[in-house]
Amino acid sequence: MHPFFVWLEATSLSTWIRESTSVWAFPTILSVHTVGMGFVAGLNAAVALRILGFAPAVPLLELRRFLPVMWIGFWANAVSGVLLLIGYPTKAFTNPVFYLKLTFIALALLVLGSIMRSVFGDKSLDLNPATRKNRTLAWWSLACWTGAITAGRLLAYTYSHLTSKQ
């Protein structure tokens, strides 16, 4: 195995995440990752579905207030994801599905940036979320977050090496 994986798995943080019986180790980190995912993907889905015409009585501008909550969820996911990666670096870095997950997340963030500029860019404009461009962005957002979640879930089943010792 790669020396970096061996070194990282030997750190006290990695060992604690992987082997501790404390509820504050792996179970809490995974729970924070799951809740963060719910906020980031859920709020992205709410905005995308609103753009696609669901809940037309809800003003789209009102959904803008949830964007900071979505970013909190994203950063909770990023931190907890790095901790999960530290716990099992060989499992992640040797699995192509891990890179697929990161690709979907990167694409989802690019799409979100486009949605924010296109839909929420100028507060003084009348919001017309149903443009063809915005509907396309909404579909891409839903597809990217679905892909990221699916790939993330598959990581538990598609690895060939759990640790560098195996």
Residue-by-residue pLDDT tens, the chain, 166 positions: 689 999 999 999 999 999 999 999 999 999 999 999 999 999 999 999 999 999 999 888 889 899 999 999 999 999 999 999 999 999 999 999 999 999 999 999 999 999 999 888 765 445 566 789 999 999 999 999 999 999 999 999 999 988 888 6
Number of domains in the chain: 1
Dist CA 60 CA 63 (whole Å): 5
Secondary structure of the chain: what % helix, strand, coil (to 5)? 75, 0, 25
Instruction: Count CA within 13 A, CB hemisphere, residue 43.
Output: 22
Let me know if residue 165 belongs to a domain.
no
In a domain, 163, yes or no: no
| Residue 95 belongs to domain spanning | 3-154
CA 133, CA 28: separation in Å to the nearest integer?
40
Alpha-carbon gap, residue 5 to 73, rounded angstroms: 28
Residue 164 placed within a domain: no
Query: Is the separation of the CB atoms in 50 and 60 below 8 Å?
Result: yes
pTM score, whole prediction:
0.91
